[in-house]
Structure 1
Amino acid sequence: MSAPLLWFLLGLVFLFVELMAPTLVLIFFSAGAWVTACAALLDIPPDWQLVLFILVSLLTLLLLRRHLRAVFGGRARRAADADADAQGGHAPDHPLTGRVGVVSKTLRPGEVGEVSIDGSFWRAVAETEIHAGRAVRVLGARPGDALLLRVDAAE
């Protein structure tokens, strides 16, 4: 089996494991393996391939992980919203505000439950108890967590 193919398959393995347990670490090793696969096509010696794999993996991990975690964790949008508020603007509502969904895990005050909106499941909180199967309307996201919806019973 050729070195480029081995590096490519190793990248696929890292990607598959990352998708199974999303830690946002192994994706960078996947990128390092794929860059090394391209370099291996140029007949770079195996020891330099290993050095390249380590360098690319660690550099992408150190340079991109924090930014990507902010983007996928909703913190990048919160920072933009805070900037808008500081300049006298109004922070935009959550994209699901006003939408109607169905409770899939009972919502109790002070606890996180779950709602389904168009087939997607979202973590949600409510000020009153709402049982599974009831319709709810999205009021917006909880301040500080764009992935946690505030909901109320729909009429």
Structure 2
Amino acid sequence: MIEYFQSNMWQLWLLVCLLCLILELTSGDFFIMCFSLGALAALVATPFTGFVGQLVVWMLGTVLCLLFVRPVMLKYFHKKDSDRPSNADALMGRTGTVSQTIVAGDHGRVKIDGDDWKAVSAATTDIPVGAKVKVVGRDSIILTVTPVNQ
């Protein structure tokens, strides 16, 4: 049985490689991918070396990938991550449609990309249902909007 495992170590490295690639899909930061590329290097080394040599190739391949490949991948794929807004900050400057009349000095509702948000008007007049508005600010999850002149 030991002979079988020794002669088919490539299957183990292929399994490690595929498992790490699947796990990489959940994170997206190219860290686990380096372990996958190290396992691919060990897979290539299976006909030439024993298990200990394969482990060394796997570790060396992983470290080299972390040092040289990952920074390039992060720079290429995550160019604008430092200034990428998320959640409610991503709504700034977006346009939406009023779904409940926004009374001046009171609240109403605005629909943006299928989501309904509580909103107040920066204008001094009421904004009727169906009017286009632009998000100009927010206070927690309450958006401040102005009418868009069509």
TM-score range, shorter chain: 0.5 to 0.7
User: For 1:112, which of 73, 76, 89 is the aligned residue?
Assistant: 89
Question: Aligned AA for 1:38?
Answer: V
Give me the whole-angstrom Cα distance separating, in 2, the residues matched to 1:154 and 1:57: 56
User: For 1:21, which of 27, 45, 52 is the aligned residue?
Assistant: 27
Give 1:133 shift.
4.4
**In the superposition, relative to structure 1, how do residues 52 and 128 fare at CA in structure 2: closer, same or farther (>3 Å)?**
same
Report the equivalent of 1:92.
Answer: none
Q: Which runs of structure 1 show a deviation greater than 4 angstroms over 4 or more consecutive aligned residues?
A: 127-130, 133-136
Give 1:64 shift.
1.6
Report the equivalent of 1:132.
Answer: 111
User: For 2:66, which of 44, 61, 67 is the aligned residue?
Assistant: 61
Q: How many residues align?
A: 97
Indicate yes or no: 2:60 matched with 1:36.
Answer: no
Report the equivalent of 1:49.
Answer: 54
The farther-off stretch of 3-12 and 61-70 is: 61-70
Structure 1: unaligned runs, 5 residues or longer: 76-106, 114-123, 137-152
Give me the whole-angstrom Cα distance separating, in 2, the residues matched to 1:60 and 1:68: 10
What TM-score comes out, normalization by structure 1 length?
0.52
**In the superposition, relative to structure 1, how do residues 29 and 154 fare at CA in structure 2: closer, same or farther (>3 Å)?**
farther
**In the superposition, relative to structure 1, how do residues 33 and 112 fare at CA in structure 2: closer, same or farther (>3 Å)?**
same
Give me the whole-angstrom Cα distance separating, in 2, the residues matched to 1:154 and 1:18: 46
**In the superposition, relative to structure 1, how do residues 3 and 69 fare at CA in structure 2: closer, same or farther (>3 Å)?**
same
What TM-score comes out, normalization by structure 2 length?
0.53
SS at match of 1:132: strand
**In the superposition, relative to structure 1, how do residues 134 and 51 fare at CA in structure 2: closer, same or farther (>3 Å)?**
closer
**In the superposition, relative to structure 1, how do residues 25 and 36 fare at CA in structure 2: closer, same or farther (>3 Å)?**
same
The farther-off stretch of 66-75 and 42-51 is: 66-75
Deviations 1:37-65 (A, max 9, x none): 1111x141110100000001110111121
SS at match of 2:21: helix
Identity fraction in percent? 23
Q: Give the aligned CA root-mean-square deviation in angstroms.
A: 3.4
